[in-house]
Structures are given as structure tokens and as C-alpha cells.
Structure 1
Amino acid sequence: MNKKTTWNQFTIKNVNKSLVLETILNKSPISRADIANETQLNKGTVSSQVTELLNEGLIYEKGPGESKGGRRPVMLLFNEKAGYSIGVDIGVNYILGIRTDLVGNICEESMIHFKDLSFAHIKEKLFKVIDHLMYTAPSSEYGVVGIGIGVPGAVSKEGKILLAPNLGWENVDVKDMVQQRYSCPVIIENEANAGVYGEKTFGKGRWEKDIVYVSVGVGIGVGLIMNGELYRGTNGFSGEMGHMTVEGSGRRCRCGNQGCWELYASEQALSLNDLPEDSDPLKKMIEKAENGDVKALDSFHSIGTYLGIGLTTIINTFNPSRVIIGNRITAAKQWIEQPMLERTKQNALWFQQDPLNIHFSEFHSHSSALGMAAFTFENFLKVNIHEHTMIV
């Protein structure tokens, strides 16, 4: 048999198998006959692909379902517990890790705060979080299928961290370091890109084609879904809008620029000093605001106003249907939201505002970790189908 024929047969089987799995994933419980109707594949093809997926443990049978005039059919369901995905969000003062099943349900999480920004210290904390999520995972068909790590900085398409100014990292290869330790696939991505993907996959943005996700922690990153796809830019460095200038003669930023947005609209605008290693400055300021502290309330009002100023530029530039504010700043929503919305309503061009929807993330600080988990388990499913089809 010539190579062209072999490749064509492989390609057809691969596509068919993906189509069957995707249908079960989205429509389960579903019968073989209904899969054939949904996909327009013949019943023999569906049956052979289902058998493969059952043997691989990615789906399972449950039944019988309701009869449509004959024997009650056996129903097929996706096995979300066939493996687990680890999603990690590295912030400037925290590491949040989650373990999800293969559809994104959070099964376990781990959070660590830190103040020491040395690479050795953060590496130690990162391994501690991943170790916990790895070694507490239940036994399953495929175990932990991969680790996804979101970082606040520019990441090359190969997964190398070129610059994370708020961490002081430059040309750091976290991917290789983590792969060597855990011997499983590792994906590195900008945390704001991960955040917008998390919102698109699991959140209110799932039906939207143009979404802006603004991640606000110690820094600010922006993730973009344009025309239904994650927009990374030419080299993967889109969304560094935390470093656009909002104060022409403002303070000097770690990136080298002056008057950057994140200096005025992120946790960097909070002034709390001399806190212990494991303390959380944002949490401390929220406690003060809840007790009516005027300086804390003024600080959050200022952050909201400056968020609105930056959002106005983004809205006028991209004309999105939805803007989502996520990451740690969502904990202070009650003091930030009103001044932010007032500023965007006042400054954004009137024809940009309908049907624009601006809101805080329902996932709070978990969007990026969820996005990284999704990147990871989707990659596993693609690779798994590919490898098993090659063997057939």
C-alpha cells in the first residue's frame, strides 16, 4: 500500500474518531444511533470508533436509554475521570494551582503567597503546589495528563518566558524544568491569554466572538478573543496593555516605561508595607475598607477610576461585545465597580457602548488556572486520539 493511501486512511479515521468523541462529550448521554444521526457518519464507522474509545477508557456505557420504537439503546458518556489536568497561575505574590477532571470541574486546589521574588524561591513554591496536586490525585486510566502554567509576562510560541517584568524574569525556561521533574506534557502561556480562554471555555463568554479579559493582580494583563479565536499576535506577545501610558509624567514602571496603567489600577496602587511573608496585602486592604477606613476606600475608588480610563482605550480600540475583569482584584469589586463603570460610560464613545457588557468574572481569581487546565486536557485529547489512531 502506498504512503498516500495510508495517510488518507489515517486522516479519515482520525477525523471520524475526533468527531465521535466530541459528539459524546457535548451530547452525552447519547446512543450510537444518535451519534450517527448527529455526525452523518455510517453506523459501522460509529461502532468501530466507539469500540476504540471504550477500549481506551475515554468513554463508558450506561443504560439503557429511552426507546424510540425498538430495543432500548445503550447510552454512551464521556469519562471525565479518565485523567486529570493541573492548571497553575503564577502571580507576582501568589501561586494558585488547581486539579481538574477532563471537562474542567475543579477537584482540588492549592494556594501559596510569597514576597521573595527570587527565581529559586518561586521555583520551590511552584514545585510545592504541583507536588500536592500531583500526589493527591485519585488513580485513573491516564493519571495527570499534563501541567499548564500561566505566567504574567511575554511567552514565546515554544513556551519560553522571554520577559516577566514584575517577577524580574528574563529568558527563563520553566517548561523544560517542570517537564524534567514530572515527566508529563507541560504548556506555558501568558496568564491573561489563559484567563480569556478560561472565560471562553467555561464562563459567560462561551457564546461571544469578541471578548476582552483584563487580569488585575499586582500587574495587569489583557487576553483577547477576536472573532471566536484566541488572539496572540504575530509572535505571541499581544495583550501587554498593563504597560500602556495613562500618566505622561507618572512613576517609573519595572518595565522601564513611565506612568503605566498597572501602576495606578492594580495592587501596585495599594500602599501597605512591612507585612509578613505569608500575608496578603489585598486582603488586608479589603479588611480596612470593610471597617470604613477612608484611605482604603479612597484607594479602591482610585483603582476603579484608573481601570475605567484604561478600559476606555481598549473598548474604543477593539469594540468588544464583552469585557471581563478577573484575577484577585475581583475580591474588591464592591468598591471598584461603580467608579470603573462611571468612567467608561463617561469616556467611551457612545456607539461602542451598545451592546457592550462589562462585568467581573464569576470565577474570581481562577480564570487563568482554569484556562491552563483547559489547554492541557484539550491537548491530551488531541494527542491521545492521534497516537491511538496511528497504532490502528
Structure 2
Amino acid sequence: MALTGDQFLVKEINKTVVLEAIRQHSPISRAVVCKITGLNKGTVSNLVNELIESHFVYETGPGESSGGRKPVILMLNSRAGFSIGINLKVHLISAILTDLQGTIIERIEVPLNTISQDDIYGHLKRTIQSLISKVPDSHYGVVGIGVAFPGTIDESGTILIAPTLKWKNVPLQKMLENDFSLPVVVNNEAKVGALGETEFGLGRDSTNMLYISIGHGIGASIMLNKELYRGQLGFSGEVGHTTFYIQGETCECGNVGCWQHYASVKPLLHQAAQIDGITEHLHRFGKTSPDMDVLVELAKEENKHVILLFESIGKNIGIGISNLVRILNPELVIIGGEMAAAEEWLIQPVTQMVKQRASLYYEKQLRILFSQLGDDAIFLGAASIAISQLFKKTRVTIN
């Protein structure tokens, strides 16, 4: 649909541009905003005044002079509002409260011993209520809630299918909006993690990136020209359910031989439970079954069985990545999620397999990195989606 912009539309577009410049580059002067945006001095001055009045921006005082009068420095008012970011996993709800710059104010973890939709939703509501009760005084309060979820999710935030939790057609976004009267965005954990890495992590300087989240399942997110590629229906990135072994085990999704059955945390823990003497080690750590924390500690102790297990899983991860690299030819692959904690023992077998099976792509400056943010990439990505709900009030989009 073609739109003819009037003065109001142009003004709103320019305000968006100015706000984004301050958001990305503060502390910043009006003169530098003019230089970055290409807008004239009078326009920038008027728009900055409006942003100050709406509590998005504030002045901190004079900056360094380059020869004339000292410029007044502008800052994003990061405490104008707060966001809630949630990572809902198979066995755990992790949630954070952040300011508008993504600084974490509060953090909550709630273990889950059930896959019951009603029970999990009850825990989720109580977690959100707890974070809301901890919000400092601010102009906007909680501006939004972002939820990262391990499943296939449509644009309305409905969980179409989540095999690991056995959820199907759950309108989670609408449910939370009805209960909290706040803007809510629910998205796949891998897509949210990619946004977190792009804004806060290793993907900040990357144009074409592949982010792979490996937990009890495997999901991926594709960033093309710094934009999230969603696919025709928004379902891109379901790489965990691509076929890895045609005569393999039946997956929760109904297919056979899915990649995540051979390269995720789930098979890792299943195989770890079969290690000789594992019970004795579990007792030392006060655990009744293996988890990633225990396995990482055992690997640090140079337990050869655990190290060999990581190497085996790492090779399977590398085989899957090599297939994706051949298809997408990214400049950067980031491995995130729970599995990123085992980087020390995974990086060699992963890169070895990619080099063997996609050598041309590997040699042409492909980088494979493990997330330094870990699960925080998913928290922060979810929180940044929530923050975007506030900034959309000043954002104009034209299709």
C-alpha cells in the first residue's frame, strides 16, 4: 500500500531516527545526532525536546568542547521503564527484570517438575507477579513482557506445537495479555536468543549470522543483513527436527531420526546416566541424576568418560552445523543455550566436523563461536522484545 507522508508522518519518522541514534550512541550531543541522522539542527533540537518531555531522554550537562561552546550531552533515560524477559524451558522458568538499556535488575529461577500446562502457567504467572512487585519507581513502569519458548509459534504468540512440553495450540501471548494488561510477545527461544546476541553479544558486528540454541531440543535463528529471517509463516529455524539418521529413534514431533535426538542436552544426559560409577559422582554433588552443571564439573576434573561423551555429541553437533553452513553460508555461527557451557570440550570436535564436511565454507572466514552470554542471550533478547513495545509508540513503519 502506497502512503503519501504529511508533516506529522515525517515528524514521527524523524523522531524515531533521533531516538534510535540516542539509544545506540548515548552519551551524545545534539550536534552528533545531526551528523548521524542527517537532520538539520532545528529539527533535532525540537525532537529532542519532545523526547525529554516524554521522559525517554535527559540532559547530563556539558561535554568536551571542540573549539566553541561546550555541547549539552544527551542520555537515554534507561530507568523510564522496565521490561520482563522470560526463558521458559523444559525443566526451568528463568526470568529477569531489566531497564531500557538491558541492565539486569532482578533475576528469578523456578524449577519445574511437571509438563502440565496449567501447572507451568501458574508458575509463570507467579514469577511475573514477583518481578512486577520489584519494579523501581519509574514513569512507564513495566513496558512489556517477552517470553522465549521452545516450540513452533505463530505471529499471534500461539504455541502451535512444543513437542518437549507436549503443548499444542496454546494462545500463551493472549493469555498473558489478558492476565496482566501489558504488551506481551511470545517467540521461539532460538529467535529470541539471536536477537539477544545481535544487540548485546557476539553478533553485534555480524551481518549474516546463524544462531543455534542447544538445550533439550535444538532451534536455530537466521539473521540476514542484520534482519531476523522468519520464513513464510514465521516457522524458520526448526533445525532440531531435520533428519539426522533415517533409521533412528522416533521423535516427540512424530518424525524419525531428528538431529536433536543425537546432538542436544537430552541424549547427552541420557548417555551420561549410563556411565560407570556415575551414581557416586552424583552423590558428591547432591544430585540424583546428571545435569549440565555436574557434567561440566566432571569434565573439569578430567573425567575421561564425560570428556569422550562431550566429544561424541560435539561431532554430531558439527555434522548438523556443516549442513546448515552449506545451505546458508553465514559469516558467523553462534552456539548458545545450555550446551554452550561445555565449550571447552565441544569446540574442537564441532569445528573438526565442519572443517571436514564444509571445508570451502570454513576456510572462507567462517567463524564458529560459543555464546559468552549463555542463557542470558535468551533473557536479554526476550527483554529487548518487551522494550520494543514501548519504543513502537514512537516508531513508524511503512510497508
Considering the TM-score relative to the shorter chain, is it more than 0.5? yes
Report if aligned partners of 1:217, 1:267 keep a CA contact under 8 Å in 2: yes
Residue 343 (structure 2) aligns with? 333
Measured in 1, the distance between the counterparts of 2:368 and 2:206 equals 13
Summarize the alignment of residues 1-392 of structure 1 with structure 2, pairs less than 5 Å apart: 8-269=6-267, 270-271=269-270, 272=273, 281-384=291-394
8 Å CA contact retained: 1:161, 1:173: yes
| Partner AA of 1:125 in structure 2 | H
Q: For structure 1, which segment, 123-132 or 92-101, has the greater mean C-alpha deviation from structure 2 after superposition? A: 123-132
Percent of aligned positions that are identical: 42
| Counterpart residue identity of residue 362, structure 1 | Q
Aligned counterparts of 1:197 and 1:167: Cα–Cα separation in 2: 24
Query: Using the alignment, how far apart are the partners of 2:81 and 2:318 within structure 1?
Result: 41
CA positional deviation for 1:208 = 1.3
Q: 1: distance between equivalents of 2:111 and 2:182?
A: 26
Shift of 1:52: 1.1
Q: Which 10-residue stretch deviates more, 277-286 or 12-21?
A: 277-286
- In the alignment, which residue of structure 2 is the partner of 1:390? none
Distance in 2 of aligned mates of 1:340 and 1:27:
36
Deviations 1:71-127 (A, max 9, x none): 323221111111111111111122221122112222222122223111122112222
In structure 1, give the amino acid aligned to 2:213. S
Question: Is the CA contact (8 Å cut-off) linking 1:113 and 1:277 kept in structure 2?
Answer: no
Matched residue count: 382
The letter of the residue matching 1:314 is L
Amino acid paired to 1:222? A
Query: Do the aligned partners of 2:214 and 2:335 also contact (CA within 8 Å) in 1?
Result: yes
> Counterparts of 1:62 and 1:278 in 2: how far apart (Å)?
54
Asked if 1 retains the 8 angstrom alpha-carbon contact of 2:79 and 2:100, the reply is yes
Letter in 2 for 1:193: K
Helix, strand or coil for the counterpart of 2:147? Answer: strand
Q: Distance in 1 between matches of 2:362 and 2:64?
A: 49
CA distance in 2, matches of 1:48, 1:171: 47
Task: Tell me whether 147-156 or 91-100 shows the greater mean CA deviation.
Answer: 91-100
Please report how far the alpha carbon of residue 280 of structure 1 lies from its aligned counterpart in structure 2 after TM superposition: 7.0
Give, in angstroms, the shift of residue 384 of structure 1.
Answer: 4.4
Q: Deviations over 1:119-158 (max 9, x none)?
A: 1221122223222222112111111100000111111112
Worse-matched range after superposition: 327-336 or 358-367: 327-336
Tell me the distance in 2 between the aligned counterparts of 1:279 and 1:180.
38
Report the residue type matching 2:221 in the other structure: G
What is the deviation of 1:25?
1.9
**SS of 1:206's equivalent?**
coil
What is the distance in 2 between the residues matched to 1:115 and 1:159? 24
SS in 2 for 1:207: coil
Cα contact 2:212–2:333 (8 A) shared by 1: yes
Superposed CA deviations along residues 188-231 of structure 1, whole A, max 9, x for unmatched, are 11110111111111112112111111100000001110222100
Tell me: CA distance 1:119–1:280, structure 2 relative to 1, closer, same or farther (3 Å): farther
Q: 1:33 to 1:318 in 2, by over 3 A?
A: closer
Q: How far is 1:286 from its partner? A: 2.8
Q: Is the 8 A contact 2:143 2:389 kept in 1?
A: no
Distance across 2 between alignment mates of 1:301 and 1:34:
50
Q: Determine the C-alpha separation between the residues in 2 that align with 1:116 and 1:290.
A: 31
The Cα RMSD (Å) is 2.3
Alignment-mate amino acid for residue 93 of structure 2: I
| Counterpart-to-counterpart distance in 1, 2:369 and 2:29 | 39
Compared with structure 1, are the counterparts of its residues 34 and 97 closer, same or farther at alpha carbon in structure 2 (3 Å cutoff)? same
Unaligned runs of 5+ in 1: 387-392
Change (3 A) 1:331 1:248: same
TM superposition shift of 1:257? 1.0
